[in-house]
Amino acid sequence: MRSISVQEVWKHNLPEDLWIVVDDRVYDLTEFAPQHPGGAGVILRYAGRDATKAYSEVHAPSILGGGLDLSKHIGILDLTTINDDWAKPPPTVSTQVKPDEKPDLDSLISTYDFEDVASRTLNAKTWAFYSSAATDLNTKRENGNAYTKIGLRPRILTNVKDVDTSTTMLGQKMASPIFCAPAAMAKLVHPEGEKAIARGCQVAGIPQCVSTNASFPLREIVDAVDRDKNMPFFFQLYVDKNRSKSEKLLKEVEALGVKAIFVTVDAPVPGKREADERVRADESMTTPMSGATAKNDKKGGALGRIMGAYIDSSLSWSDLPWLRKCTRLPILLKGVQTWMDAKIAMERGIDGIVLSNHGGRSLDTAPPPVLLLLELQKCCPDVFDRMEVFVDGGIMRGTDIFKALCLGAKAVGIGRGFLYALNYGQEGVEKYAEILKDELETTMRMCGVTNLSQVHPGLVNSLAVDHLIPTSQEHSYARWRPKARI
């Protein structure tokens, strides 16, 4: 076996020509690296270098030599040619950043990473506005915790080489069962605000639902994407006390090619979000479609409260015919929180519902949406056959998405998460969606599912939470009623 200098080894440091040294033996790993079970990255890091230390921490000494074809055993390292440059370790995988600095986007590998970075790098008011929730935050916490209490039931020995996450939402094609839920004033995070979210969603192949309280007029958001490529937009409506404003807005929305209207029904008044109240608002802030302007008062500076004064708290079931007259688009109710209201919506001919508690921002101790899926399955399963059902709130993993789909959701909405991703602009939105899609694909494969038409409730175990699901409109045993109107 020939003697090889470090200078010669060093020349073979590319993916298409890759040598490494282990225990003073030189190997050609050009063909092996892409097949490495631990990924090619760690091998590429030591391309043209001595990988003995990193290799020995993971593998037995004989694995490499015995597993490679002899033609890949290049020779023995000439120890007399070792110099100071050769002895230096390769560059570190990641670098330390200061607490208030954003790490490279490439270093973020989960949705929790985006939230962590946002908590450290967004300004105090922006973080307070987006992260806050109603009073003691119980519902915000339980939105996510409820998913962890529902188990999966993996199936084995199914050919899952190819999986397909594509689906449709209200007749619109999407690459994965995720849509960007409406969230106000995204420009607080990034100068391009909802426009950057729209571009990111288009690349990811998922719809965007634009808020009435968006930072830009809807036309500017719609015009921000490539109109020659598919990009479904939905619009979230807060009904204005001045109904003529809502009527005018709905006509404009329909003319811009929006595919459906999501009417928010879980926030007739703003919830008390104490973290947001404690940080004063910038009183120059306005939202173009609602016309709302920030104004601090003695209660504090919560943007949801001080900019939501225009919302009509008198909105009721009797207003649905008026809404139908205002638009020919499908109408969905966003914020359904009981099976009883889901059933009424179905009977009134509503086109779809979003099981949501406003991300825990309206009423604390309201039920988590994934438990509402179980409630509907138990008390009014016909709903799933008569209209499309969606959920939002608490979704952080691909497993969460999979569980929601198994229990009847057509797709899931994500609000805060995409705002945290917007901290990195359009590219952050793209990566956030990609992470969730990758995790969903992994979950599907582990459960023996190759496309979303195969999901069903039998793939989840809800026994740990089944006792929490109501079975009737009434309390399970208390029958008290007040004797007089209070």
Residue 155 three-state SS? coil
Q: How far from 263 is each of 87, 253, 383, CA to CA, in Å?
A: 64, 13, 18
**What is the Cα–Cα distance from 476 to 279, expressed in whole angstroms?**
42
Q: If we measure between CA atoms, which residue out of 372, 402, 388 comes closest to residue 177? A: 402
**What is the Cα–Cα distance from 365 to 388, expressed in whole angstroms?**
26
Q: How far from 77 is each of 5, 6, 21, 49, 57, CA to CA, in Å?
A: 6, 7, 8, 11, 21
358 counts as catalytic: yes
- Residue by residue, DSSP assigns 80-103 as GG--HHHHSPPPPSS----TTSPP
8 A C-beta contact, residue 279 and residue 125: yes
Q: How far apart are the first and last CA of the chain?
A: 96
- Centre a 10 Å sphere on the Cβ of residue 377 and count the other Cβ atoms it contains: 17
- Centre a 10 Å sphere on the Cβ of residue 280 and count the other Cβ atoms it contains: 12
Query: In which residue are the tokens 């009014």 written?
Result: 380
- Considering 12, 73, 358, 456, which one is annotated as catalytic? 358
Q: How far from 125 is each of 117, 188, 364, 395, 403, CA to CA, in Å?
A: 15, 9, 22, 24, 34
Q: If we measure between CA atoms, which residue out of 380, 289, 302 comes closest to residue 342? A: 380
Give the residue numbers annotated as catalytic, written as ranges: 358
